[in-house]
Structure 1
Amino acid sequence: MAAYLLLGCAIVMEVLGSSMLKLSQGFKRLLPSMGVVVGYGIAFYLFSIALKKLPLGVAYATWSGVGTILTVWIGVHVFKEKMNKKTILGLVLLLAGIVLLNLQK
């Protein structure tokens, strides 16, 4: 269970890093650029620790899938990006895949 908590924290930090990447405007703004480096640095560190207990394939699929879902949510709610029915269907399918992979035990 602790490994999944570490994975969750790693995902949150990766989403923070991705959000800061957008705000950095091509690494032209200092604070968001620093947020990218710190966010991704912490994310990869926590992910590496989680991998001591979790299978790589399941952990990476969860990392990338949940990160994608959260990043889309940030895009819609913070950056006012648009979503349509195909986007929603894609997110539902992605979530279903993540759940199925994590039930393989």
Structure 2
Amino acid sequence: MRHWLFMACAILTEVIGTLAMKYGTSHDAHVLGLGVMYVMLVLSYTTLALAVARIPLAVAYGAWESLGLVLISLCSAWLFAETLGVLKMAAIAVIIVGIVLLEHGTEEKPEHADAA
């Protein structure tokens, strides 16, 4: 269960880092935006590395990138007034279905698997 918490943390920090990058460039806060971006992306990769200790890499990376993309798209529409049309919403729905199918088609590594 804790590996899924690492996964959630990896996704959230990726989203925060990417939004900070956009905020910094659009609000004359370049140094602050880049600083937050660098810290969040380091945390994101670190927690992703902790998550893949138990979650299969294809599932972890797929969820990290895909859910990150979905959240960034939704937050960008909310925070930066970027358009979120019907086609983009359909793409988000397809991404979510793909993540669910990928997760259900992959078995997790046992908690105490021997390293071979």
Q: Which TM bucket (shorter chain)?
A: over 0.9
1:19 maps to 19
Runs of 4+ aligned residues of structure 1 deviating over 4 Å after TM superposition are none
Deviations 1:33-85 (Å, cap 9, x if unpaired)?
A: 10011010100000001111111111100001100110011111000111111
1:88-103 correspondence runs (5 A):
88-103=89-104
Distance 1:5 1:29 in 2: 31
Provide structure 1 residue ranges, at least 5 long, that are not aligned to the other structure.
none
Partner of 2:3: 3
So what's the TM-score if we normalise by structure 2?
0.85
Alignment partner, residue 42 of structure 1: 43
- What's the % identity of the aligned pairs? 26
- Secondary structure of the residue that 1:24 maps to in structure 2? helix
* TM-score relative to the length of structure 1: 0.94
Alignment of structure 1 residues 7-86 onto 2, 5 Å: 7-25=7-25, 29-86=30-87
- Tell me which structure has the larger Cα radius of gyration: 2
Distance apart, 1:29 and its partner CA: 1.4
CA-based RMSD of the aligned residues comes to: 1.6
2:69 maps to a residue whose letter is T
